[in-house]
Amino acid sequence: MRGVLQRQLPQGVALLPKHVWLLEPPAPIIDPIIWAAVGIAVLTVMLTVSKQLRSGVRESQARGPEALAHTRALLRAALEDFAACQGPSHAFYVGPDHPFLSCRNSGRLECMLV
């Protein structure tokens, strides 16, 4: 999960566990409200993956490219759900350069996770 988040952040921004667990943005350019949504999404994905591991997914399936793609897809889905719930009249504006969610031409939040 850390790699997925780190990949989205600008070069030179260090991601620490406290940034996720305490919902503290890792850099001033990260909008605190968006980071809170990202952090909650990450914690939810971590719980989901943990439950999958306990339900019998082999350790070998929990690592590698397929597991990373699955984790990224879960995070993307969570962020897309958050963005969809905001609608066009959200109370904050996030510029087009935000690494996780941003407002584009439509005025709606869009997931920027790659």
12-59 pLDDT, tens digit per residue, is: 999 999 999 999 999 998 888 888 988 998 898 888 887 777 776 655
- Host H or E run for residue 110: strand 109-111
More confident site: 3 or 15: 15
- Among residues 109, 106, 107, the alpha carbon closest in space to that of 80 is found at 109
How many domains are there within the chain? 1
Q: pTM for the complete prediction?
A: 0.70
Q: What is the mean pLDDT of the chain?
A: 79
Q: Which domain holds residue 11?
A: 2-111
Cα-only R_g, the chain: 15
Q: Tokens representing 62? A: 């929990």
Q: Is 5 helix (H, G, I), strand (E, B) or coil?
A: helix
Res 60 pLDDT > 60: no
Judge whether residue 95 has pLDDT over 80: no
Copy the structure tokens of residue 114. Answer: 């790659």
Which tokens in the block code for residue 25?
């943005």
CA distance 42 to 76: 10
Tell me: the pLDDT tens digits for 75-92? 888 888 887 777 665 555
